[in-house]
A and B are shown apart, each in its own frame.
Chain A
Amino acid sequence: MMFPEKPELSVAIPAKTELLKMLVELTRHIALRNFFSSSESQKIALAVDEAITNVIKHSYGDISNGDIKLDFFCSEKGIKIKIEFSGIPPHLEESSVDIKKMIKAKKKGGLGVALIKRIMDSVEYRTIDNMNFLEMVKWKKSS
């Protein structure tokens, strides 16, 4: 088994952007504690930021009382972050971005999913009984 069944840490938060910084710091700390490098830990934290921002802005949108649960699973092989939320299922298909085209189109959004997919080694999504589950895994380089 790649990851233990029980998460190392579970966090339930209201879907509010003011909590993003706290989540970034928490994720970075967990990754560092599990022997990811400082640079990798920062990027894993960014992937969590982008995923949660996507949930708040797109899945919950105008819903002000949405909840988000995060489970962090750690092993010597890597880290798995499971994000559970309701609302509209996310669009995660967009993975390649053409920055020049986006600049020409004056786009201010659309980089988040590409960032997640560039940072994490696997990103999986499923919906069960109106609940959305997003799982992101980052393996350690040596594994």
Chain B
Amino acid sequence: MRNFLINSKIIDKVGVLYPKGHLDAHSVDKFEKEILNVMNDGINKIIVNCKDLNYISSAGMGIIMGYLDDLREKKGDIKLSNVIDRVYEIFDLVGFTDIYDFMENEESALTKFNDVS
């Protein structure tokens, strides 16, 4: 059984990523590759829909951190949605909750992107 899967789709020029499972130093390359694929398509607004993300370590958070400046320079951003409580606690431990928009669901994240575009 695979511990981590990721899919993505483009909705209204926003890249939405769907990581599923356990995101750690072993699976992080798949996550980074998918973010880069979306960015290479010219997309600079990204939502990470975490509804099926059960676990994240600093390896995964590092990728979310590492590309944020590039995206914001292009007037884009990364927003996170549908984060389950125990994963939110991990983001909160390192202060991500002060830096990133954590939205209740994908629709509200899309609306927020569209409101400022």
Chain A interface (Cβ within 8 Å of chain B)? 17-18, 20-21, 24, 38-39, 42-43, 46, 49-50, 53, 56-57, 97, 99-100, 102-104, 106-112, 114-115, 118-119
Contacts and interface: CB of A to CB of B under 8 A. Distances in A.
Centre residue among B59, B66, B96 by max chain A CB count within 10 A: B59
Given A20-B26, A42-B86, A42-B89, 5 more contacts: A46-B90, A99-B96, A106-B66, A108-B65, A115-B58
15 contacts: A21-B55, A42-B89, A46-B90, A49-B24, A49-B57, A57-B25, A100-B99, A102-B65, A106-B69, A107-B66, A108-B65, A111-B58, A111-B61, A111-B65, A118-B94
A107 B3 CA distance: 25
Nearest to B87: A42
A23 B67 CA distance: 29
B8 to A, nearest CB: 19
Which 4 residue pairs spanning A and B have beta carbons closest together?
A108-B66, A17-B26, A111-B58, A108-B62
Interface residues of B, number: 27
A64 B26 CA distance: 15
Nearest to B29: A17
B35 to A, nearest CB: 11
Given A99-B65, A99-B94, A107-B65, A18 B58 contact: no
Given A17-B26, A103-B68, A118 B93 contact: yes
B62 A109 contact: yes
Contact of A112 (B58, B65, B96): B58
Nearest to B3: A21
Contacts of B65: 99, 102-103, 107-108, 111
Centre residue among B3, B65, B86 by max chain A CB count within 10 A: B65
Contacts of B70: 106
A49 B59 CA distance: 10
Contacts of A43: 89-90, 93
B89 A18 contact: no
Given A49-B24, A57-B25, A114 B94 contact: yes
A108 B57 contact: no
B22 interface: yes
Nearest to A98: B95
B19 to A, nearest CB: 14
B67 to A, nearest CB: 8
